[in-house]
Structure 1
């Protein structure tokens, strides 16, 4: 198991900012997947500042599935480079081009989620930006193969109440997938306004696995490709993302080892 699924509730900070931030600070080779059913193309329009996907993305993967071609090869072939680094690969799989496209993807998810899972065999972790939780939840097959499913939320009463309403939708999707093998956790942004992370975890009955600071100037780099400011490398958000990415990568690596043993 080498799959991390990220989602959020209504009224919460952008999950795509977290997804890009984790992918860029991940300590191992990583594939970022845009699986937001709303098809906002947020990574292409944001961090990649309007870069064209060149026709690549999930719909081409669906075509490979229809034609019974090897999905692992298809996934890698449809990837763009997220960032040029001296070390680990950082890849990006573009998402849906129209909101209605996700509705026709149901028959693909089981095999595609299994493909994401097996990418761990070639030392490639997968971070999935699943967008905001909707009325239908997330694809059960994806949740079933996720080592860690993370729900992002703020610390306001509005965010906590939205999570209380929407977390049962996530639990229902996990049950539909015959129970997720991994953990579900919360990432709290800007805790203490007004609620502390521990209070939120207790109120929702879900473990808080990370806390992120409110740092708009640094977040703008991940969300919109804004230039890095002078103290970016030591900024609170960047420091927290590095620590969170290391922790989450460890969870995925441990889950993969348990499955193999």
Structure 2
């Protein structure tokens, strides 16, 4: 079980669509947390087309945190996404509420990591981390943090400074191997290999460029006949497998380091 955080550095590379796609493809119980500080209710208004009545989310968690009830409250704010193993925690309703979350991010990281004891994985949509009051603590503390980037020059150039900054933050804590890239639309025009070289981060997954299929997740569009077996869904399934593999490898490495440290005491 693990916490995976997806975030962007610039533009709109498809963080929410990718996070939702990963959660739906996860194939075991998973919490999907909308931690985007811009206040865009993309899942409720997009994938669920505004048809799901739900009035609880991160704001209620912020209130619970102030009264010392955060751990118990996490289960009360989630809603089930029909036909899936996903429990969804909606984000803020407007950007004006973002400031109320500043004192929530750090304690929320511990609560989300504790979901492992309940048999749950967690996927966090952290949105763009360069905006005010963004969920950077969730990026720094995740088992795997994934910078989502498209393969065009403006996207790669915009991501470069943030890739360096986050990598340096994680280097200071010895957890730099928990940071990687998700490339959306590799080869349009730059390859994943070229992007990896420029940004200095490993490519954990590549999401196929399939705008019509992506609309199913971003706007609730009706899926086409080949949606379930198409390149978009195959790439999401491969991304899940790759993310889980990276986390398992990192945990084995950390466990080995800890055993060696203990043996030297």
Deviations 1:85-132 (A, max 9, x none): 4xxx31100001121222222222111110001101211010000112
Quote the Cα distance in structure 2 between the aligned partners of 1:256 and 1:73: 27
Q: Could you say if the C-alpha distance between residues 195 and 137 of structure 1 is closer, same or farther in structure 2, counting changes exceeding 3 Å?
A: farther
**158-167 or 36-45, which deviates more:** 158-167
Which residue in the other structure is 1:130 paired with? 126
Other-structure match for 2:180: 185
Q: Aligned runs of 1:220-259 on 2, under 5 Å? A: 220-252=215-247
Q: How does 1:153-232 map to 2 (within 5 A)?
A: 153-171=149-167, 174=170, 178=173, 180=175, 183-232=178-227
- Secondary structure of residue in 2 paired with 1:192: coil
- In the aligned structure 1, how far is the partner of 2:234 from the partner of 2:107? 36
CA deviation after TM superposition for structure 1 residue 188, in Å: 1.0
Structure 2 spans left out of the alignment, 5+ residues: 260-265
> TM-score when scaled to structure 1?
0.89
Match of 2:93 in 1: 97
Higher relative contact order structure (alpha carbons within 8 Å, sequence separation ≥ 6) = 1
Root-mean-square deviation (CA, aligned residues, Å) is 2.4
> In the superposition, relative to structure 1, how do residues 155 and 134 fare at CA in structure 2: closer, same or farther (>3 Å)?
same
Which ranges of structure 1 fall in alignment gaps of 5 or more residues? none
166-175 or 187-196, which deviates more: 166-175
Q: TM-score, normalised by structure 2?
A: 0.87
Q: 2:262 is matched with which residue?
A: none
C-alpha distance in structure 1 between counterparts of 2:130 and 2:46, whole Å: 22
Residue of structure 2 in register with 1:143 after alignment: 139
Q: Closer, same or farther in 2 for the Cα pair 1:171/1:247, shift >3 Å?
A: closer
The answer (yes or no) to whether the contact 1:147–1:182 under 8 Å persists in 2 is no
Count of aligned pairs between the two proteins? 256
Kept in 2, the 8 Å contact 1:57–1:96? The answer is yes
Q: Are the equivalent residues in 2 in contact too, given 1:155–1:192 (CA < 8 A)? A: yes
